Amino acid sequence: MSDSLKINNLFECNVPYLKDFFNNFEFPWEMLPYIKDYIKELLKSNLDGFTEISQGVLVGENVKIHPSAVIEAPAIIGANTEIRPGAFIRGNVITGKGCVIGNSTELKNSILLDGVQIPHYNYVGDSVLGNNAHMGAGAVCSNLKSDKKEITIHANPPIKTGIRKI
């Protein structure tokens, strides 16, 4: 399989509470079905510097959450992250520090490493975004093929992922 698609070649994970999780997988799509369970483990571990603001939702220090934002459990939001008006976090989301989840942005079953900005009118589902990634206005990480069949990565050779959403 293509080494360029391996996690250690795509991402430098500096998020302390994600390093072990990343080390359990070879390719990024392999971790997607396990995000929810991993968050539940982290919730039991009493992460230092985090506060539980509602059942199953931990936020780090200096997180700004607009009153119109919705965060569904389970979720872990890293320090110094800003969640802007109308943002909708549908659960199974982990962010690193210093992220921006913007106006009318929707997230589900995703990991954002440090400094990710998805500032306005975005959808990110079943995805892993690397350090300092920035999505332009209205950009979408569509996560389901229109034929709803298994996703195949078009590498040399092709890689069957075993999942329908990525």
| Catalytic residue (choose from 66, 120, 134, 154) | 120
Q: Which residues contact 118 (CB under 8 A, 6 or more apart)?
A: 99, 100, 101, 102, 105, 107, 112, 124, 129, 135, 139
Closest CA to 152 of 22, 13, 27, 7: 27
How far apart are alpha carbons 154 and 8 in whole angstroms? 19
Across-strand partners of 112?
95, 129
Across-strand partners of 75?
57, 93
Specify whether 120 is catalytic: yes
Q: What is the dihedral of CA 103, 109, 111, 115, to 10 degrees?
A: 0
Across-strand partners of 93?
75, 110
If one counts every other C-beta atom within 10 angstroms of the C-beta of residue 121, the result is 17
Residues with active-site annotation: 120
